[in-house]
Structure 1
Amino acid sequence: MLALAYVGAALAEIAGCFAFWAWLRLDRSPLWLIPGVLSLCLFAYFLTLVDAEHAGRTYAAYGGVYIVSALFWLWAAEGVKPDRWDVIGATACLLGAAIILWGPRSG
């Protein structure tokens, strides 16, 4: 469930932010904001599905998943293949996210 919630949140956030990008930077209709706002609400909902003790840790760990998803968007939606530095950076971010989420805690 954790992976699905994070991936769902990432896709919803990227889609919502892209709707604003399309409106402001690509000169698309302001109607793009309607699905954009709905998508951003879905993003927030998905993060509440993560079973973690503290919201801040959930959001921090989500950051790594978001970075990987943004690079996938770069490739799939914009036609730009991530280079080795993108892959190395994304791997480091996922490792950091795993440490934040699953690192041993005292107390």
Structure 2
Amino acid sequence: MTVARSILLFAIAALFEIGGAWLIWQGWRENRGLWWIAAGVIALGAYGFVATFQPDPNFGRILAAYGGVFVAGSLAWGVIVDKFRPDRYDIIGAAICLIGVAVIMYAPRAEG
């Protein structure tokens, strides 16, 4: 259950961080206004809180692993929201990142 909870938290964090960055992008670069930017800032703040619920107590490990989730999630966001078409190198790179996440977060470790 801990791994499933951790994966769910990574997914929620990705939605908040990527969505928040996208809202700011839309507000500024696409001239949608300050309300979009404000919503993005709030979403980015929520991302910071979600990360604190990860079962592992090590900040550096959580953020390092989340980096891989962010890479893959950003590409997925682009496909779903912006109709971006990743090429095989995008997909290979994202897969490598997710393998890194699995190694960092879920590899068996000696206690202590």
1:100: which partner in 2?
Answer: 104
CA RMSD of aligned residues (A): 1.3
1:41: which partner in 2?
Answer: 45
Helix, strand or coil at the partner of 2:93: helix
> Runs ≥4 in structure 1, deviation > 6 angstroms?
none
Helix, strand or coil at the partner of 1:43: helix
Q: 2:11 and 2:60 mapped to 1: Cα distance?
A: 18
2:10 to 1, 6, 10: 6
Q: After superposition, give the CA deviation of every residue in 1:39-64 in whole Å (9 maximum; x if it has no partner).
A: 11111111111111311100101111
What runs of 5+ residues in structure 2 fail to find an aligned partner? none
The percentage of counterpart residues that share the same residue type is 37
In structure 1, what residue type is equivalent to 2:87?
D
Give, in angstroms, the shift of residue 18 of structure 1.
1.0
1:18: which partner in 2?
Answer: 22
Q: 2:24 and 2:57 mapped to 1: Cα distance?
A: 32
Give, in angstroms, the shift of residue 103 of structure 1.
3.3
Helix, strand or coil at the partner of 1:64: helix
Q: Give TM-score, length-normalised by structure 2.
A: 0.87
Give, in angstroms, the shift of residue 27 of structure 1.
1.3
Q: 1:99 and 1:3 mapped to 2: Cα distance?
A: 13
What runs of 5+ residues in structure 1 fail to find an aligned partner? none
Give, in angstroms, the shift of residue 104 of structure 1.
4.3
Aligned residues: 107
In structure 1, what residue type is equivalent to 2:102?
A
Q: Give TM-score, length-normalised by structure 1.
A: 0.91
